[in-house]
Structure 1
Amino acid sequence: MTADQTPGLAARLAETACVRGAFTLPDGTVLDAYFDEYRLAADPGLLHDVAVAMASLIPTETEVLAGLALGGVPLAVALSAATGLPAAFLRRRAKCYGSKRQVEGIALEGKRVVLVDDVVRSGDQLLAATRVLRIAGAKVTDALCVLERPSRGRQRLAEHRITLNPLLAEADLPVPATEAVS
């Protein structure tokens, strides 16, 4: 989907969630701007509108939406509310107390599950989640995200038979020049 297909939404996302400044990724790469998913999740009107726009990206055979911790969880909840599809939630690792589960929510065995995350760059998080879900018996063939950053994420996912369906590409989302990281 492009910014033209989501009138005003790209500008609202840029205004609310794009932050300028040095931001270091886990692999050591330093970005001069980043997408702050917490700012998106904290704005109920924007989160609702993003979920409504993303709903059109969900494949028709989808049975469960799986939100990746932490950025994908509020998106999966909002998408679930907008579509009526049940949700599951993935932690980075299993809890060491309580349920001791890595996946919470609806049972996944044999179900067609779509991954939901905020930003996709390398695809590492989605690939790790896919392994967990496939071991649990889920059929994972698609992933949704708000923003696709230019990197090899899409290609790496395709190598594992996962189609990436982003709401916006980074080029669709201008970064406000006045915002600075504190």
Structure 2
Amino acid sequence: MTVTTASALAARVGEAACVRGAFTLSDGQVLDSYFDEYRLAADPHLLHGLADAMAALVPEDAEVLAGIELGGVPLVIALSAATGLPAAFLRRLPKRYGSKRQIEGSGIEGRQVVLVDDVVRSGGQLLAMTRILRVAGLPVTDALCVLERPLGGRLLLGEHGVALHPLLTEADLPAAGAAS
């Protein structure tokens, strides 16, 4: 991706997904702005552009792309279409009915998995999903995201053998620091 293309994509992401207003995070922290990843998924042209740009971040040894509910699911579907790699879907908790699975996808057993999520902050969610996949016998050494915030996620994941590959960092957005 060229610098011009990266700049244009960052501007589109910032315009589409950086929202001002009072937002409460799951840990109770209240922010005055928020990165609304659902606005990315709702814009088919932006989602397509993100998938094309993220395809360059997929490691060569990747065999399966695994999206984390809910924000990572549309991204992994688009990225799967852009790369031709199969997709898997991860639930935070196992389904309580039907298949009762936490990991969805066929033919993924024993294959090298790359995690896909929208925003990485502390890295806790990606680490939890890494552990679930590893317990299931699926190797994970890489994770992709649209936006990395400098809140310790890269360090935490690195301590557990997972390299983080963000498409954008908070500083890349036109209103740097205006998103969570």
- TM-score exceeds 0.5: yes
Distance in 2, Cα, partners of 1:4 & 1:127: 33
Amino acid in the other structure paired with 2:15: E
**Residue 60 of structure 1: SS of its match in structure 2?**
coil
| 1:172 alignment partner in structure 2 | 172
What CA distance in whole angstroms lies between the structure 1 residues aligned with 2:161 and 2:107? 22
Q: CA deviation at 1:25?
A: 1.6
Q: Which structure 2 segments of 5+ residues have no match?
A: none
Q: Which residue of 2 aligns with 1:29?
A: 29
List, as ranges, runs of 4+ consecutive aligned residues in structure 1 with deviation greater than 6 Å.
none
What is the CA distance between 1:22 and its match in structure 2?
2.1
Is 1:61 the equivalent of 2:61? yes
Amino acid at match of 2:107: A
Distance (whole Å) between structure 1 residues aligned to residue 145 and residue 5 of structure 2: 16
The match for 1:111 is 111
Q: CA deviation at 1:34?
A: 1.4
Equivalent-residue separation in structure 2 for 1:157 and 1:121 (angstroms): 11
Aligned to 1:160: 160
Looking at structure 1, the residues matched to 170 and 118 of structure 2 have their Cα atoms a distance apart, in angstroms, of 12
Q: How do 1:21-170 and structure 2 match up within 5 A?
A: 21-170=21-170
Deviation at 1:65, TM superposition (A): 0.1
> What is the SS of the residue equivalent to 2:119?
strand
Secondary structure of the corresponding residue to residue 143 of structure 1: strand
Separation in 2, partners of 1:118, 1:32: 20
| TM-score normalised by the chain length of structure 2 | 0.93
What percent identity do the matched residue pairs reach? 70
Structure ranking higher on relative contact order (CA contacts 8 Å, 6+ apart): 1
CA deviation digits over 1:150-176, x for unaligned, max 9? Answer: 111100000100000000000111239
The number of residues matched between the two structures is 176
Taking a change above 3 Å as real, the CA distance of residues 4 and 162 of structure 1, as seen in their structure-2 partners, is farther
Look up the match of 1:179. Answer: none
Query: What amino acid sits opposite 1:111 in the alignment?
Result: R
